[in-house]
Amino acid sequence: MSKINIFDTTLRDGEQSPGVNLNKLEKLEIAKQLERFGVDRMEAGFPASSKGDFEAVKMIADTIKNTSVTGLARSVKTDIDAAWDALKGADEPCLHVFIATSPIHMKYKLQKSPEEVIKLAVDMVSYASKKFSKVQWSAEDASRSDLAFLAQIIEKVIDAGASVINLPDTVGYGTPADYGHMFKYMKENVPNIDKAILSCHCHNDLGLAVANSIAAIQNGAGQIEGTINGIGERAGNASLEELAVAFHIRSDEYPFETNLNLIEIKRTSDLVSKLTGMHIQANKAIVGKNAFAHESGIHQDGVLKHASTYEIITPELIGLSSNILFLGKHSGRHAFGDKVKQMGFELSEDKLKEAFGKFKLLTDSKKEVTDDDLFTILTEIQTDSSAANKYELKMFQVQYGSNNIPTASVELLTPNQDIVQEACTGSGSVEALYATLDKLIDEELELIDYQISSVGGGRDALAEAHVQMVVNGEQMNGRGSAQDVMEASANAFLNAVNRYLIQKHTEEIRKVTTNH
């Protein structure tokens, strides 16, 4: 079995998904789960892109000890310096530096000749190697680059100190045959290729990211880059959980092993989905809610007689539990705290108290509290609510029926600590509620998307709402849960607005600090 390194870029490429805005604590929570999942390297962000990203990368680098932490940099000295400042507290600081190599990128984006691109790449790798023990160099748009030129620049950056060479399919243009051939060509035509590991990074624009990644491994790549749930720019990246399970189930065809702990797949997938606000499609391989569901009578009959007739993957393999009752209304704070730790969450005393309060409220109205319920509670309190004053729902009432005009009344506590009230009508109950909230909130708001789902099953299941909104020109995700659908919807709406306010408040603090 060949050992394959797993490079996770959920916190960098994944966070570039439209509408995803993770705060520092949410990024750290995902990073801790990625460490438990067993990824070899995690790309924590792009430190030079913003002060917020710099701080998040630094926090992760200073905290994570069992996984190598990496930051992204353009071929610019200031980017490399910023990455070093953010990552120098890590056990093994690593840099991922890139430059475009395709003719179209060199001509129109970089406006540089091939010779100039080679010189810049070599100079920046040499500069980075003086700071970082490991430097990964990427040829942006490698899949549309001239192979001979690619071989030439790779040889030179390896001599300059690059220990990992990444050949990304940046625009998702490649097919398994041509993408695999590129890796085979480099193995055969770069004289010093044995001094570096080849890495693949595939985008899913044609739905081929996982297939292309496997083709790269079969042709000499030693590292796969991807994201949890396949999130990322445009159509996303290669889905790491799909690759991990494919290698496990089809080890006869793919003799590759990783350090990934497969039982952590479901928890990792759920955490990323909840914190990013990106729903997992029902028919998504491995982690979709229908992945282990059988509708056909023939299939159901077969599975009842012997599961392997129609199931090649067991739910237990990826950590999908039966979701049985674990705590009840008489459970104490100590037992609750132990369960929180078992689930991998590390909460401050204040956050633990807040979570326990929400749990107790839930047990008053819900007969059985499951792991999924608790997971929802714990992920909901990850926003740093102390960072700024925010809108708080004090009271709401929605009246609607088949013969009535839906009407919503809302009372809010504003960031200025004022109590405001309003009532509005709408063509539906949610529209009336959201129109009322919109009227009470000072920011300019535009609702882009609204989704509602249940957490688990049963009539007393929690409702979970997700919204995408534009707040003063900035796209924000919001999420909220409650046993009442309307309350969950209101919570999600306010969560999106409050995330914007927290972000704005943090930026203002940075400006004041910088000026002084």
Q: What are the boundaries of each domain within the chain?
A: 2-276, 290-319, 333-380, 387-513
Residue 126 confidence (pLDDT): 98
Residue 298 confidence (pLDDT): 47
Q: Tell how strand 445-455 and strand 462-471 pair up.
A: antiparallel
296-335 burial by CB neighbour count: b if 16+ within 10 A, else e? eeeeeebbeeeeeeeeebeeeebbbeeeeebbeeebeeee
Please give the average per-residue pLDDT across 73-100, as a whole number: 97
The sign of the torsion formed by the CA atoms of 506, 507, 508, 513 equals positive
Residue 324 confidence (pLDDT): 47
Give how far Cα 176 sits from Cα of 114, 181, 182, 218, 500, Å. Answer: 27, 8, 10, 10, 41
Give how far Cα 458 sits from Cα of 26, 279, 320, 361, 508, Å. Answer: 29, 21, 18, 18, 45
- Report the topology of domain 387-513: Double Stranded RNA Binding Domain (3.30.160)
pLDDT of 232 higher than 50: yes
pLDDT of 432 higher than 90: yes
> Between these two residues, 292 and 400, which has the higher pLDDT value?
400
Place of tokens 């590129």: 182
Percent share of the chain, pLDDT over 70: 91
Residues with Cβ < 8 Å from 289, sequence gap 6 or more? Answer: 280, 282
300 confidence band (pLDDT: 50, 70, 90): very low
Percent share of the chain, pLDDT over 90: 66
Number of neighbouring beta carbons within 10 Å of residue 373: 24
The pLDDT mean for the chain works out to 90
Residue 279 confidence (pLDDT): 82
Residue 355 confidence (pLDDT): 87
Phi and psi at residue 223, to the nearest 5°: -145, 140
pLDDT of 260 higher than 80: yes
Contact 202, 212 (CB under 8 A): yes
411 confidence band (pLDDT: 50, 70, 90): very high
- Altogether, the residues listed in the chain come to a count of 516
Consecutive H or E run containing 471: strand 462-471
CATH number of the 2-276 domain: 3.20.20.70
Q: Using CA atoms, how far apart are residues 24 and 237, in angstroms rounded to an integer?
A: 23
Residue 227 confidence (pLDDT): 98
Tens-digit pLDDT profile for residues 133-190: 999 999 999 999 999 999 999 999 999 999 999 999 999 999 999 999 999 999 999 9
pLDDT of 51 higher than 50: yes
Measure the CA dihedral 342/346/348/350, to 10°. Answer: -50
Residue 121 confidence (pLDDT): 98
The reported pTM is: 0.86
334 confidence band (pLDDT: 50, 70, 90): confident
Please give the average per-residue pLDDT across 236-261, as a whole number: 97
Tens-digit pLDDT profile for residues 110-142: 999 999 999 999 999 999 999 999 999 999 999
Tens-digit pLDDT profile for residues 20-47: 878 888 899 999 999 999 999 999 999 9
Q: Using CA atoms, how far apart are residues 400 and 433, in angstroms rounded to an integer?
A: 11
Residue 111 confidence (pLDDT): 97
Same fold flag, 2-276 and 387-513: no
Residue 294 confidence (pLDDT): 52
pLDDT of 484 higher than 80: yes
Please give the average per-residue pLDDT across 354-372, as a whole number: 80
Contact 471, 500 (CB under 8 A): yes
pLDDT of 474 higher than 80: yes
Q: Using CA atoms, how far apart are residues 150 and 152, in angstroms rounded to an integer?
A: 5
> Between these two residues, 343 and 106, which has the higher pLDDT value?
106
Residue 296 confidence (pLDDT): 47
pLDDT of 297 higher than 70: no
Residue 325 confidence (pLDDT): 45
- Least confident span in 26-30, 403-407, 471-475, 512-516: 512-516
The token pair at 7 is: 């490079």
Residue 330 confidence (pLDDT): 67
Please give the average per-residue pLDDT across 72-98, as a whole number: 97
Q: Which amino acid is at 110?
A: L
> Between these two residues, 488 and 1, which has the higher pLDDT value?
488
